A = this chain, B = another copy of it.
Amino acid sequence: MRLTNRLIYGAVEGGGTKFVCMVGTGPADVVDEVTIPTTSPTETIGAVIEFLARKRSGVELAAVGVATFGPIGLDPESDTYGCVLKTTKVEWSGARILSPIGRRLGVPIGWDTDVNGAILGEARWGAARGVDPALYLTIGTGIGGGALVNGSTIHGLLHPEMGHVPVPVLPGDPFPGICSFHGHCLEGVASGPALAARLGRPVEEIPSDDPAWDLEARYLAYGISGLVLALSPKRVVLGGGVMKQARLLPKVRRAFVDVLNGYVDVPDIVEHVDDYLVLSALDQRAGLYGALVLAERALAAPKRGL
């Protein structure tokens, strides 16, 4: 029987409030799925393992991919590989994610940040299909970004932390920003909580014609322009709750072209910015599907045994 089983992947997207897990091979082949609340590492990872290890008729896990909130240890030579690093979620600081999954399942596991996962998903099935270099940026309760460059995401000193890039203070804006590290970085002035703090009301209650959206667009444009100048992506995919405001994207596009001011003089930006700055096509599922790509890559070239 075993030899006739179809090989599929396990995918896990770990977030601050929930872990979404699936088994399958792509958006059109979701064999099973579950959402697990983020409580303690032991409890949550335990439930993730139970889901992944479940016997399912006719299929068998070949590899697992995990895309999770960070910071996380990505250096296979380091003891912190497979762990969450020091984070504001105190109980998760130092939590081992990969080793318990690997011990139980005995298959290769790929591992990356949620936003690196998201760009892998978008580049495979979403709004950046086949594009490299490509950039994904989520603007929600935080701001984070992932990039695909020369075939892979970026694992360096740590991993990119694009939400915290510096942005200028816009003239006449007295808001000091809410980032506990930097005050006025991109996340500090343009995340959902920043927008809410600026206006003293939840983002969902800000009218679509409030001038705050123009300010938001301009701050995002500064952040995106810096990332574009650093990474030269062929497309930028935007996701996250704040981008649900339908009038925001056109404003961001205009502000982005305005901020660059003709400096990157290519038709993609000057003439076709609507195809350059685009919304996520996979929405909340980008990281989860990206985890499937991580699984596939782990199977092709296992980075290290667990």
Cβ of A166 < 8 Å from any Cβ of B?
Answer: yes
CB pair A228 B157 closer than 8 Å? yes
Q: How far is the CA of A285 from the CA of B214 in the complex (A)?
A: 46
CB pair B230 A156 closer than 8 Å? no
Q: How many copies make up the complex? A: 2
Cβ of A222 < 8 Å from any Cβ of B?
Answer: yes
Set of chain B residues within 8 Å of A86, measured between Cβ atoms: 265
Set of chain B residues within 8 Å of A231, measured between Cβ atoms: 154, 156, 160, 230-231
CB pair A182 B263 closer than 8 Å? yes
Cβ of A57 < 8 Å from any Cβ of B?
Answer: no
Size of interface on A: residues with Cβ below 8 Å to B = 50
Q: Which of B158, B164, B168, B264 contacts A168 (CB 8 A)?
A: B168
Q: How far is the CA of A260 from the CA of B164 in the complex (A)?
A: 9
Min distance, Cβ A107 to any Cβ of chain B, angstroms: 25
Set of chain B residues within 8 Å of A155, measured between Cβ atoms: 232
Given A152-B150, A168-B184, A264-B157; A162-B85 close (CB under 8 Å): no
Min distance, Cβ A74 to any Cβ of chain B, angstroms: 9
CB pair B232 A159 closer than 8 Å? yes
Cβ of A169 < 8 Å from any Cβ of B?
Answer: yes
Set of chain B residues within 8 Å of A158, measured between Cβ atoms: 232, 264, 266
Q: How far is the CA of A222 from the CA of B236 in the complex (A)?
A: 23
Set of chain B residues within 8 Å of A85, measured between Cβ atoms: 265
Cβ of A94 < 8 Å from any Cβ of B?
Answer: no
CB pair A230 B265 closer than 8 Å? no
Cβ of A268 < 8 Å from any Cβ of B?
Answer: yes
Minimum CB distance partner of A230 in chain B: B230
Q: Which of B164, B222, B232, B234 contacts A160 (CB 8 A)?
A: B232
Set of chain B residues within 8 Å of A62, measured between Cβ atoms: none
Cβ of A202 < 8 Å from any Cβ of B?
Answer: no
Set of chain B residues within 8 Å of A151, measured between Cβ atoms: 150
Cβ of A149 < 8 Å from any Cβ of B?
Answer: yes
Cβ of A225 < 8 Å from any Cβ of B?
Answer: yes
CB pair A164 B232 closer than 8 Å? no
CB pair A169 B166 closer than 8 Å? no
Q: How far is the CA of A121 from the CA of B169 in the complex (A)?
A: 37
Q: Which of B147, B162, B166, B269 contacts A222 (CB 8 A)?
A: B166
Cβ of A167 < 8 Å from any Cβ of B?
Answer: yes
Min distance, Cβ A185 to any Cβ of chain B, angstroms: 9
Min distance, Cβ A130 to any Cβ of chain B, angstroms: 13
- Can you spell out 21 A-B residue pairs with CB atoms less than 8 angstroms apart? A71-B265, A133-B156, A149-B154, A156-B234, A157-B228, A157-B233, A157-B269, A157-B276, A160-B229, A160-B230, A161-B232, A161-B264, A164-B229, A164-B263, A166-B166, A166-B168, A166-B226, A166-B259, A168-B168, A181-B260, A230-B230
